[in-house]
Amino acid sequence: MAGREPVSIIQAGGNIVATITPIIMFGAAGRMGRMILECAASSDRPYQVVAALDRAEHPGIGQPLATLIPSAPPSLLLAAALPESVPNGTVAIDFTTPDSTMAMLDWIEATGASAVIGTTGLEKKHIDRIAETADKVPVVFAPNMSVGVNVLYELVAKAVALLGDPYDVEIIEMHHRFKRDAPSGTAKRLADVVIEARGGNQTTDIRHGRMGLPGERTSSEIGMHCIRGGDVVGDHTVSFSTLGERVELTHKASTRETFARGALRAAAWVSGKEAGLYSMKDVLGI
């Protein structure tokens, strides 16, 4: 099993200038994969792309990754086969599908690599499996790697505590037309934050949309509404309403770069850590 200590860049005199973070990008040809690799190439922090992986049927398999991402090293090929061994401190970054993520977990357990997982659409069985893997290797798991969104989680919890029961909570999220899962992982996490802050039941409190004659709104329910269209990267609003006023907390992402740079920040942070399940709150020190 590979060691976890990352490799450092040492200047004359023995001082550590920076630590190289080796990364393996899963779903490298996808929207998020490409953005993360582009950000890694332009980052002030040193990242070494060890491998770029995608599904076996992708037409670019075996071709230079530079055909998709001009900033990629010319020698790096888009591959389907997982490497049998990895350099010390390697971090797998995964923004793919639930099935692909589960396969990735077997691989990081075998190699000792760390992981940053941003895959959404996961069910409880998938999340439990991630937790099992985190008993053996370090894993950062977060539905949203944005710094702003993780601050939003904290603000929502604070708002619930300050506003109290008389305020009705509704969550509205909008994403591009190509997004497959609904609600978004971020919206689900926002609902969890509300439930954790005020007490409640995730199974019975969340109301997914309304139609017909659903009756009057109950004070405990959390409305969840999903909008899809165009090329919207990701908008999330939590609305707190009572008779006479409304408070809204909103985060809008205008580019996937914010998620990509958050994922790279998480990769640099988790490289060399002890086994455990971490969140972006750990990465950001919130």
Q: Which of 126, 136, 179, 273 is catalytic?
A: 179
Mean of pLDDT values over 247-260:
94
* Among candidate residues 141, 83, 135, the one with its CA nearest the CA of residue 115: 141
pLDDT (0 to 100) of residue 192: 94
Per the CB < 8 A criterion, the answer to whether 37 and 25 are in contact is: yes
Q: 7-145+257-284 belongs to which CATH class?
A: alpha beta
> pTM for the full model?
0.79
Q: Which of 175, 188, 225, 251 is catalytic?
A: 175
pLDDT band at 1 (very low <50, low <70, confident <90, very high): very low
Alpha carbons 168 and 217: distance in angstroms, whole number: 9
Sequence spans of domains, the chain: 7-145+257-284, 147-253
Is 125 designated active site?
A: no
CATH fold of 147-253? Dihydrodipicolinate Reductase; domain 2 (3.30.360)
In this structure, of 84-88, 123-127, 204-208, the range with the lowest mean pLDDT score is 84-88
pLDDT band at 183 (very low <50, low <70, confident <90, very high): very high
Q: Around Cβ 203, how many Cβ atoms within 10 Å?
A: 6
Amino acid at 127: I
pLDDT band at 139 (very low <50, low <70, confident <90, very high): very high
Percent of all residues in the chain with a pLDDT value above 90, rounded to a whole number = 73
Farthest CA pair distance, the chain: 75
pLDDT band at 19 (very low <50, low <70, confident <90, very high): confident
Mean of pLDDT values over 4-16:
49
Is 175 designated active site?
A: yes
99-123 residues labelled b (16+ CB within 10 A) or e (exposed) = ebbbebbebbbebbbbbbbbbbbbe
pLDDT (0 to 100) of residue 9: 45
pLDDT (0 to 100) of residue 11: 46
